[in-house]
Amino acid sequence: MTVREILKMGDARLLRQAKAIEHFNTPELLQGVADMKETMLAASGAGLAAPQIAWDVQLVIFGTGQVISRYPDAAPVPFTVLINPVITPLSSEEQNDWEGCLSVPGLRAVVPRWQHIRYTGFDQFGNEIDRTAEGFHAKVVQHECDHLNGILYPQRVRDFAKFGFNSVLFPELAPEKSA
């Protein structure tokens, strides 16, 4: 396993439409997933998308092993490898909450996301995934899957009064997990 460099906003490779994965359970795919997991853990991230390590495929990983301080009511999100994902909103209800990104270090913004979603796809072995999620779990999935469409969260900010440096916005809190 290798900790890979995380691309930062401004790198054109973050703006690509990622390619679908056609073959599962290959050595290349399993190695890539292992590298992504190592990279996310090293960065204390809550999620990571393949384009963030310049891997042009529709693959994201996410998960939180513990309750996150800013979302004390959020249930821990199981560690998940999600490939070729499809997200369907289950209602028109939105959540507006703070978000960060490992490709946009030090910054944070309030971003609108669907509150309730269904997401489908596959794991690295080709097993089907079909889940419903809400709240923080739903937000992380939407943030990560945006990366596969070349979208970084600043593109979704509506109120730029709620976009700033983490250290200024939340000086009393420890650095928050980003995705």
Residues serving a catalytic function are: 144
Closest residue to Ni ion using C-beta atoms: 101
Rounded to 5 degrees, φ, ψ at 116 are -125, 125
How many CB atoms are closer than 10 A to CB 175? 12
Q: Is 109 in the site for Ni ion (CB under 5 A)?
A: no
Smallest distance from Ni ion to CB 143, Å: 6
Rounded to 5 degrees, φ, ψ at 80 are -140, 135
Binds Ni ion by CB under 5 A, chosen from 33, 83, 101, 110: 101
**The two structure tokens encoding residue 76:** 């821990």
Cβ atoms of 110 and 16 within 8 Å: the answer is no
Smallest distance from Ni ion to CB 179, Å: 5
Of 7-15, 19-27, 98-106, 134-142, the window that binds Ni ion (rule: CB under 5 A) is 98-106
Nearer to Ni ion, 127 or 155 (CB): 155
Nearer to Ni ion, 81 or 179 (CB): 179
Nearer to Ni ion, 101 or 133 (CB): 101
H/E stretch holding 166 reads helix 166-169
Q: Is 6 in the site for Ni ion (CB under 5 A)?
A: no
Smallest distance from Ni ion to CB 52, Å: 7
Nearer to Ni ion, 3 or 24 (CB): 3
Give the C-alpha distances (Å, rounded to integers) separating 37 from 32, 138, 170.
9, 20, 27
Smallest distance from Ni ion to CB 144, Å: 7
Q: Is 179 in the site for Ni ion (CB under 5 A)?
A: yes
Residue 124 backbone zone (phi > 0: left; psi -120 to 50: alpha; other: beta): alpha
d(CA 123, CA 129): 7
Total of residues contacting Ni ion (CB under 5 A)? 2
Q: Which spans of this chain sit near Ni ion (rule: CB under 5 A)?
A: 101, 179
